[in-house]
């Protein structure tokens, strides 16, 4: 039996992972003893979604609880979804990377979200230089398809990014997370990161260049009187938040770099 647990929701309440499962209507007939028995026999799988959306304290809490569950129930299945952060996902034995959407899947998504109108938007995007590669990225395809009927299709990658950031910022809890990390200037930080990558003639910025870009933006904003240099979060925290909020991708391995969604920008 698999149980899906959105970690962002779980972190906002004091219950344990097993207790949070029992709060759901489908699991009301069960007790913690039932879940423990299933965990003991290897018949329970915890699907934990959004490790990247947890703050430091919530990650420590989740890690401690998972370590206890793994110790007490060695056969318990644990699946964790996340974006690549500076903080690694714990217990990662097998890593599965989600590939970009192929043409058939793009059409299915477009049809599901907007019907025939969605398929028309998809074809227009495919025919537009600078956009056709973006529709293979689910988040950007979603941003294009969620444009209001009658709205003009963005003609540049930057236009899609602006639309995506605008849609993203309308979600209250994510808007708050972005505001706390960027002090309300995520668009300026993202624009400067994109400019730095363009100047380097690359689609991905090395870690030290990305941090330097964020800090340079913060200094410029401080000089303009928009923020206080003393209260600005550390660049790594800003980058991790942009990743957690699906605005950047962090490559793993020896050469760490940052890019806009599968190196499309």
In the sheet where 257-259 sits, what is the strand order? Answer: 205-206, 257-259, 249-251
With both helix axes pointing from N to C terminus, report the angle between 172-182 and 235-244 in degrees, rounded to the nearest 10. 160
DSSP 132: T
pTM: 0.59
Is residue 115 left, alpha or beta, with left meaning phi > 0 and alpha meaning psi from -120 to 50? left
pLDDT tens-digit series, residues 161-191? 666 666 655 654 556 777 888 998 888 888 7
Higher per-residue pLDDT: 33 or 84: 33
Q: Taking residues 123-145, report their average pLDDT.
A: 77
pLDDT tens-digit series, residues 85-113? 666 777 767 888 777 778 888 889 889 88
């Amino acid at each position: 039996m698999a149980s899906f647990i959105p970690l962002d929701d779980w972190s906002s309440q004091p219950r344990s992972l097993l207790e949070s499962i029992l709060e759901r209507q489908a699991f009301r007939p069960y007790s913690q003893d039932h879940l423990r028995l299933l965990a003991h026999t290897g018949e329970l799988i915890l699907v934990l979604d959004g490790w990247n959306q947890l703050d430091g304290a919530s990650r420590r809490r989740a890690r401690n609880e998972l370590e206890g569950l793994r110790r007490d129930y060695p056969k318990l299945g644990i699946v964790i979804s996340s974006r690549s952060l500076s903080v690694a996902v714990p217990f990662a034995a097998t890593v599965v990377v989600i590939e970009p959407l192929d043409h058939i899947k793009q059409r299915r998504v477009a049809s599901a979200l907007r019907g025939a109108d969605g398929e028309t938007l998809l074809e227009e995007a495919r025919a537009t230089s600078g956009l056709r590669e973006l529709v293979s990225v689910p988040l950007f395809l979603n941003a294009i398809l969620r444009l209001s009927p009658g709205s003009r299709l963005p003609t540049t990658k930057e236009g899609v990014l602006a639309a995506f950031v605008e849609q993203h910022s309308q979600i209250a809890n994510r808007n708050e997370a972005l505001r706390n990390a960027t002090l309300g200037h995520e668009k300026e930080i993202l624009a400067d990161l994109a400019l730095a990558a363009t100047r380097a003639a690359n689609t991905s910025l090395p870690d030290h260049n990305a941090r330097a870009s964020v800090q340079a933006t913060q200094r410029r904003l401080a000089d303009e009187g928009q923020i206080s240099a003393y209260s600005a979060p550390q660049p790594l925290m800003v980058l991790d938040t942009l990743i957690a909020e699906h605005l950047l991708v962090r490559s793993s391995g020896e050469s760490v770099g940052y890019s806009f969604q599968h190196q499309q920008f």
